[in-house]
Chain A
């Protein structure tokens, strides 16, 4: 790399809170991470860990009930944490786009596919209707929708879930954004369609040389797609690093536990082996949290884990984890012996 391109996204201390009658719910706590241009960042964690909230917070799409606090939110080197609604609107759909989990309900039922695709192009480009139509057709073709001309005239309810998600991908790509946030883009789809859509997403990411944040609860998806991974737990990042390192040498007990929950991949060749589980439940996100969020489920937890703040440790360059245990300590036997 001769000239340093600015990072596509750099987030510093992102917090998302909800005021509830029984206290303040911290959906996302002090999240800091970055996305390089031209990489796929996988964000993985179980339901309610704050993955989607993080995505919506970056796009400034949180509902009115949520409160976002962030020290800095740099997009292509520029801080967009405190820009006006209009400036944010100019970025959304143009430089940053989002693909949602529910293809069945994410398209407006009363407008044609063509209309909804053209709209985003007309909004951000000084283009004619004909330009927008040409662009929409070429993108529908690119995302592998057969007979795009007919599809343009159809309504969402006439398309299958897989096709609708392809339309959503085409819509996100209309203005060639620098960043696409895909929030569980394949969760609602059939397994075979899932693989196709993921392959398409990866291919397009390479073609358009854009950054993608891929949010998922599926480690298999992360392994196949992501260059780097963030593992989230209870609103925090517990481990981050290059995909290969995370999968080869997970340092945080939660990441290790997640990997044991993967069928087949965790125990190759041992068919019939018991699938791992992580005992216990996620802690309440209401109120301040002291110590490690995972301490109540962690097999290695000791007294120090429950007090103070847990600092990030570096396992290798670019591979960090939030735990008091030293890296490289062999924990792999634990889950077997604890059964």
Chain B
């Protein structure tokens, strides 16, 4: 188990190293940062001065290590636009996006696990059909459109929910549903398929031959095996939601990381974009790592090679 954890940590570290290089280089491919900082009406001298001031004239490799060193100590520099430290800006926004992501994932799992399990127990039943419709619609409908429909219906017509801002928990309901629904089809179909496979497996036949009750067969013997791929996909979906929150936060004016990254991209606020991209990448890697570790706990075949 310890060896397994060390291996996973090492590969997570390698992934982050590659990602950080890419983020650093991409920012430099996006155009001359000195011009972006200097603004439109600046002279060539201004630009040259800025280039020296920010160290853009030094070799890339040197800049990379300097950037990495600062990033590790939480210093992502100052925003070009707001004259505020990037870490302050990111740290005030991060909880909003994490709240949204966690609640969206919980929402997706709360919908997809019971529906997927029930659809597997009774294939072709009414609930199976309904869940298939939910999955197809969820897969086909663009998230932003679904969000707008909800705003019109629940926000403007019925006036049940606030449509923008992040003042109270009610502000999170519609964004959570919009973002969570996006992840529901994959998780639901995976649960259903896994459950059908499991229920037809030899070890479930053995469990039935032992005279075990339905609950034990379903929740003890089948579900644990079904959960293994669901955990992996959940982690990927959570990562995708962090990315997907850019659109959702924009629509609902939730001022989280996604909102900030859009704003920073529009303004070519390079340090902010870099910091956000790196943070999302770190989350992605941590989530995958967490999924691997959870699966190792669930499945001894992973744990004990």
Contacts and interface: CB of A to CB of B under 8 A. Distances in A.
Contact of B208 (A92, A105, A110, A155): A92
B210 A106 contact: no
A110 B225 contact: yes
Nearest to A168: B206
B304 A120 contact: no
Contact of A120 (B202, B203, B211): B211
B300 A90 contact: no
Interface in A144-201: 155, 157-158, 168, 171
Given A110-B224, A110-B225, A119 B203 contact: no
A109 interface: yes
B212 interface: yes
B201 interface: yes
Contacts of B298: 110
A93 interface: yes
Contacts of B213: 89
B50 interface: no
Nearest to A104: B202
Nearest to B201: A105
B299 interface: yes
Interface in B193-230: 200-203, 205-213, 216, 221, 224-225
A157 B301 contact: yes
Contact of A105 (B203, B209, B210, B301): B203
Given A92-B210, A171-B210, A109 B202 contact: no
Interface in A89-103: 89-94, 97-98, 100, 102
A59 interface: yes
A129 interface: no
A108 interface: yes
A120 B217 CA distance: 12
A123 interface: yes
Please indicate which of the listed interface residues A63, A88, A120 has the most CB atoms of chain B within 10 Å of its own CB: A120
B300 A93 contact: no
B125 to A, nearest CB: 12
A199 to B, nearest CB: 23
A59 B299 CA distance: 30
A100 B202 contact: yes
A97 B201 CA distance: 18
B164 to A, nearest CB: 46
15 contacts: A59-B209, A92-B209, A93-B209, A94-B211, A100-B209, A106-B202, A108-B207, A119-B216, A120-B210, A120-B211, A124-B211, A155-B304, A157-B300, A168-B206, A171-B210
